[in-house]
């Protein structure tokens, strides 16, 4: 083995004289060592003979030469891709008939971008980074804090940092660094860093406004001298996605430390919370927002711990869960032709022709549903109907403004998952039932409504479990107490309700269950199991309604004729506005029911979208397990393992809310 190595060294072709000399030296070394091992001599003699051997001196000389060579000349092993590319191009040029690949390679290598890239690569490979900073002095005084000089190039974007003054010491600190902002992307400024100078001017004792002015007035580069708040705790909290449950405007929030750094959002917006380290103010960005920079939003703790005034929510509106009225209460109302509840039991269902859309013969199909039973009641004036009829659902007394955010998950329905529940919501008269009825009629094998329960007596021709589940008052009451209903209500002294089980029956049959709900009952269906997709049906303008709703044919069929009046259209519009203002955070989709055919198509598309496309759905049942109850706070903001520098100490000690905080924003000019 040893012999073959020697041979390889000696026989290697292409070695010059020096190489041969070196090979000889190495061969001698190997031989000498072999002889030393074979001979049985004592260690001192062996060491002496080794140290005095001429080959050892030769080896040392070779080593010194190599070291000298590596310092003087560029390392031949470092990549010289640019030079190589020149050689390749010269070779291609020398070819009489270069192949198409060779020509393509030539064009590629000749391209200035490629040349620049290769040149940059060579520079980096040789660690040719430009000026080398002088090394730090050996002896730094122990009590002196390390200073960092940060140079940022001013551009149109905000700097993305806020500052705070310690009124006692006059020191200015970086209060916050906004994720995705210029300061954050530089990685050079951190919360708690003490600002010593800005563009060579000392800032201690200055008012934050003055510091901001200095920044605004500076052009080109901004030079910061800071005492870093080191070491920075690592922040590894995963992003949290939430749906905004309220409207928020930082400009109207007197509590925000810096309104410029705040982010406005509206009910229903999906927000990505990227930083929860601050107990009061989180950093978030709106999904699909073009801006890279995050903004401050109030944390849920503000509400939890401080019982802060809910200035960001809608003015409190009493929920529409109207308590049952006594017979006496009902009797007090003036009964007129306009407002009386007309018994529409005959119309509670509609019999669809026995011939299917595709000509196939079908069993009699009934489109049953809770809303039908209250339809004419709803047609009554909104102001009056509340006094004579009522409807309730699980959690219908839930105050929707109690939560700021609701945690959401990105959900893509798997082919084996049950279909999502489709919920239609809209002001009475907008056409919710018309759309639902048409949808089911067109494709009864795909869509179906749940069968409601009622306490009214069964009529001739009706079948239990087809038009309704006919139950006694006691059974109905039992179901109410045991939260079996998604929505229930009273009409003309009879109880009607849509049970969770009846919805489940439809889903278990593999059909898409389509229901309509009063909006205050939304919470009853917002469960992980049902994963409802909520569609709000909005009316067009009253003028358009006047044009399109001339023939209220279905309202009473042969029983009752009741036309829309101008007042109705205004009421529908008003009710729609109120509903949207209060509940739009729950709407996954809005359809404007203008032209009936178009609206049907929109509804069909929306349902397909709900079943097939990924959607944001609540991570938990909101009424019971909300984000407010369980904020996923980062543990890193309480990290106590950081070493403490004097600047950090001052920063930590003075973390009081009375500090002045201003935005260092450079876009203002
Ligand atoms: N886009 C439309 N164009 C014309 N007429 C429509 C349209 N949508 C609904 N209608 C008609 O308006 C009337 C009311 O519709 P529908 O009963 O579906 O309202 P609703 O929202 O269910 O209200 P309610 O709960 O009071 O019944 C019906 O006569 C219906 O045919």
pLDDT 10s digits, 170-196: 999 988 888 888 888 888 888 889 999
Does the beta carbon of 429 lie inside 6 Å of ligand 1? yes
Q: What six digits make up the tokens of 508?
A: 């278990």
Mean pLDDT lowest for which of 283-292, 311-320, 411-420, 654-663? 311-320
428 pocket-lining for ligand 1 (C-beta < 6 Å): yes
For residue 452, how far is its CA from the centre of ligand 1 (angstroms)?
A: 21
pLDDT at 583: 93
Does 394 score more than 60 pLDDT? Answer: no
Mean pLDDT of 117-124: 83
Asked if residue 576 has its Cβ within 6 Å of ligand 1, the reply is no
Mean pLDDT of 647-661: 43
Give kind and range of the element (H or E) at residue 434: helix 432-442
Whether residue 498 is predicted with pLDDT greater than 70 in this model: the reply is: yes
Q: Is the pLDDT of residue 501 over 50?
A: yes
Considering the chain, what is the average pLDDT of its residues? 73
- pLDDT exceeding 90 applies to what percent of the chain? 27
Query: Atom 12, ligand 1: which residue's CA is nearest?
Result: 431
Ligand 1, closest atom to CA 516? 22
For residue 520, how far is its CA from the centre of ligand 1 (angstroms)? 21
Atom of ligand 1 nearest to the CA of 379: 26
For residues 160-169, give the mean pLDDT: 87
Q: Which of 429, 593, 597 to mutate to test the pocket of ligand 1 (most atoms within 8 A of CB)?
A: 429
Cβ partners under 8 Å of residue 297, min gap 6: 248, 262, 263, 265, 271, 273, 281, 282, 283, 284
Lowest average pLDDT, out of 87-91, 385-389, 535-539, 648-652, goes to 385-389
Distance 10 CA to ligand 1 centre (A): 100
The pLDDT of residue 43 is 72
- Better-predicted residue by pLDDT, 245 or 386: 245
Give helix 17-38 / helix 43-51 axis angle, nearest 10°. 170
Residue with the bigger pLDDT between 94 and 633: it is: 94
651 neighbors 172 (Cβ within 8 angstroms)? no
CA of 553 to the centre of ligand 1 (A): 9
- Distance (Å, whole) CA 45 – CA 431: 110
Angle, CA 130 vertex, CA 126 and CA 135 arms, to 5°: 100
Predicted local confidence at residue 435, as pLDDT: 94
The answer, yes or no, to whether the previous bond of 380 is cis (omega within 30 of 0) is no
Residue 426 Cα: closest atom of ligand 1: 21
Distance 606 CA to ligand 1 centre (A): 19
Instruction: Give ∠ CA 251-574-490 in degrees, rounded to 5.
Output: 120
Task: Evaluate if residue 18 carries a pLDDT over 90.
Answer: no
Q: What is the DSSP string of 406-422?
A: EEEEEE---TTSPPPPE
Rounded to the nearest angstrom, the distance between the alpha carbon of 433 and the centre of ligand 1 is 6
434 CA: nearest ligand 1 atom: 18
Identify whether the C-beta of residue 469 lies closer than 8 Å to the C-beta of residue 453. yes
pLDDT score for 482 = 92
pLDDT score of 601: 95
Query: Which residue, judged by its Cα, is nearest atom 22 of ligand 1?
Result: 433
148-232+642-664 classified as CATH 2.30.42.10? yes
Atom nearest to 537 CA in ligand 1: 21
- Atom number in ligand 1 closest to CA 551: 29
**285-294, 388-397, 411-420, 539-548: which range is least confident on average?**
388-397
Q: Where in the chain is the domain with CATH 2.30.30.40?
A: 240-313
Per-residue pLDDT band at 41 (split at 50, 70, 90) = low
pLDDT, residue 328, reads 34
**In the predicted model, what is the mean pLDDT of residues 141-169?**
80
Residue position matching structure tokens 């860093």: 193
Would you say residue 555 has pLDDT above 90? no
Q: Is 344 in the pocket of ligand 1 (CB under 6 A)?
A: no
Average pLDDT over residues 251-265: 87
Q: Is the CB of 426 under 6 A from ligand 1?
A: yes
Q: What percent of the chain has pLDDT over 70?
A: 66
Q: Is the CB of 448 under 6 A from ligand 1?
A: no
Integer Cα distance of 71 and 61 in angstroms: 16
Determine the average pLDDT of the residues in 551-579: 72
Closest by CA position to 403, among listed 259, 267, 590: 267
Q: What is the atom index within ligand 1 of the atom nearest the CA of 371?
A: 25
Highest mean pLDDT among 47-61, 120-134, 170-184: 170-184
CATH for the 240-313 domain, from 3.40.50.1450, 1.20.1250.20, 2.30.30.40, 3.40.50.300: 2.30.30.40
Q: For position 478, what pLDDT does the model report?
A: 94
Q: Where in the chain is the domain with CATH 3.40.50.300?
A: 327-618
> pLDDT for 514-544, tens place per residue?
999 888 888 888 888 899 999 999 999 999 9
Q: How far is the CA of 635 from the centre of ligand 1 (A)?
A: 53
Cβ of 379 below 6 Å from ligand 1 = yes
CATH superfamily of 327-618: P-loop containing nucleotide triphosphate hydrolases (3.40.50.300)
Task: Give the separation between CA 301 and CA 526, rounded to whole angstroms.
Answer: 24
What local confidence, expressed as pLDDT, does residue 73 receive?
55
HSE-CB of 182 using CA atoms within 13 angstroms: 19
Spatial neighbors of 73 by CB under 8 A, at least 6 apart, are none
CA dihedral 583, 588, 591, 597 (to 10 degrees): -140
> What would the pLDDT profile of 305-346 be if each residue is shown by its tens digit?
444 433 333 333 322 222 233 333 333 333 333 433 333 443
pTM given for the model? 0.63
Ligand 1 pocket member 267 (CB < 6 A): no
- Is the CB–ligand 1 distance for residue 432 below 6 Å? yes
Q: How far is CA 360 from CA 270, 440, 441, 445, in A?
A: 45, 16, 13, 12
Going by C-beta distance under 8 Å and a sequence separation of 6 or more, which residues neighbour residue 91?
none
- Residues spanned by CATH 2.30.42.10 within the chain? 148-232+642-664
> Per-residue pLDDT averaged across 484-491, rounded?
88
pLDDT, tens digit, 9 for 90 and up, residues 572-607: 999 999 999 999 999 999 999 999 999 999 999 999
Q: What pLDDT shows up at residue 238?
A: 79
């Amino acid at each position: 083995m040893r012999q073959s190595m020697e041979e390889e060294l000696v026989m290697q072709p292409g070695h010059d004289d020096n190489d041969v000399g070196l090979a000889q030296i190495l061969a001698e070394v190997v031989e000498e060592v072999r002889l030393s091992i074979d001979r049985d001599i004592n260690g001192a003699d062996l060491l002496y003979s080794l140290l005095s051997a001429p080959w050892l001196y030769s080896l040392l000389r070779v080593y010194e030469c190599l070291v000298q060579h590596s310092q003087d000349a560029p390392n031949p092993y470092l990549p010289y891709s640019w030079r190589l590319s020149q050689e390749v191009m010269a070779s291609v040029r020398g070819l009489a008939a270069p192949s198409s690949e060779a020509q393509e390679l030539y064009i590629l290598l000749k391209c200035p971008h490629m040349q620049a890239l290769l040149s940059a690569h060579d520079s980096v490979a040789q660690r040719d980074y430009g000026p080398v900073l002088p090394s730090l002095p050996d002896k730094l005084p122990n009590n002196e804090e390390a200073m960092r000089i940060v140079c940022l190039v001013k551009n149109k974007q905000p700097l993305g940092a806020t500052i705070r003054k310690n009124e006692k010491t006059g020191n200015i600190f970086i209060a916050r660094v906004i994720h995705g902002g210029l300061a954050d992307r530089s990685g050079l400024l951190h919360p708690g860093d003490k600002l010593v100078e800005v563009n060579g001017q000392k800032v201690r004792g200055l008012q934050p406004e003055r510091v901001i002015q200095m920044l605004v007035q500076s052009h080109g580069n901004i030079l910061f001298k800071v005492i870093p708040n080191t070491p920075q705790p690592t922040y590894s909290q995963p992003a949290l996605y939430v749906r905004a449950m309220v409207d928020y405007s930082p400009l109207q929030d007197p509590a925000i430390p810096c309104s410029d750094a705040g982010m406005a959002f509206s009910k229903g917006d999906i927000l990505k919370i990227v930083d929860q380290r601050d107990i009061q103010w989180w950093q978030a960005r709106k999904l699909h927002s073009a801006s890279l920079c995050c903004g401050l939003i109030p944390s849920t703790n503000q509400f939890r711990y401080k019982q802060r005034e809910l200035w960001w929510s809608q003015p409190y509106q009493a929920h529409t869960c109207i308590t049952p009225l006594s017979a006496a209460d009902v009797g007090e109302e003036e009964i007129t032709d306009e407002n009386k509840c007309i018994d529409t039991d005959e119309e509670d269902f509609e019999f669809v022709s026995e011939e299917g859309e595709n000509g196939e013969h079908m069993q009699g199909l009934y489109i049953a549903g809770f809303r039908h039973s209250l339809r004419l009641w709803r047609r009554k004036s909104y102001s009056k109907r509340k006094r004579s009829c009522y409807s309730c659902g699980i959690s219908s007394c839930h105050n929707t403004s109690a939560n700021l955010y609701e945690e959401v998950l990105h959900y893509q329905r798997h082919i084996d998952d049950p279909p999502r529940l489709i919920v239609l919501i809209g002001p009475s008269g907008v056409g919710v039932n018309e759309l639902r009825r048409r949808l089911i009629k067109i494709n009864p094998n795909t869509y179906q409504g749940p069968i409601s329960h009622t306490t009214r007596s069964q009529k001739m021709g009706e079948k239990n479990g087809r038009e309704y589940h006919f139950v006694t008052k006691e059974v109905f009451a039992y179901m109410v107490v045991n939260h079996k209903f998604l929505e229930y209500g009273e009409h003309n002294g009879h109880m009607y309700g849509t049970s969770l089980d009846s919805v489940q029956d439809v889903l278990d049959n593999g059909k898409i269950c389509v229901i309509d709900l009063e909006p205050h009952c939304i919470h009853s269906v917002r469960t992980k199991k049902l994963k409802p997709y909520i569609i709000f049906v909005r009316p067009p303008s009253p003028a358009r309604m006047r044009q399109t709703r001339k023939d209220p044919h279905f309202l009473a069929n042969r029983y009752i004729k009741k036309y829309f009046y101008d007042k109705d259209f205004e009421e529908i519009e008003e009710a729609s506005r109120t509903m949207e203002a209060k509940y739009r955070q729950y709407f996954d989709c809005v359809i404007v029911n203008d032209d009936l055919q178009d609206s049907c198509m929109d509804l069909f598309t929306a349902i397909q979208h709900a079943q097939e496309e990924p959607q944001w759905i609540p991570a938990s049942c909101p009424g019971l397990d909300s984000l407010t109850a369980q904020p996923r706070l980062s543990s890193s903001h309480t990290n106590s393992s950081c070493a403490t520098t004097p600047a950090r100490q001052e920063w930590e000690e003075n973390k009081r809310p009375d500090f002045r905080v201003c935005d260092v924003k450079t876009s203002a000019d």
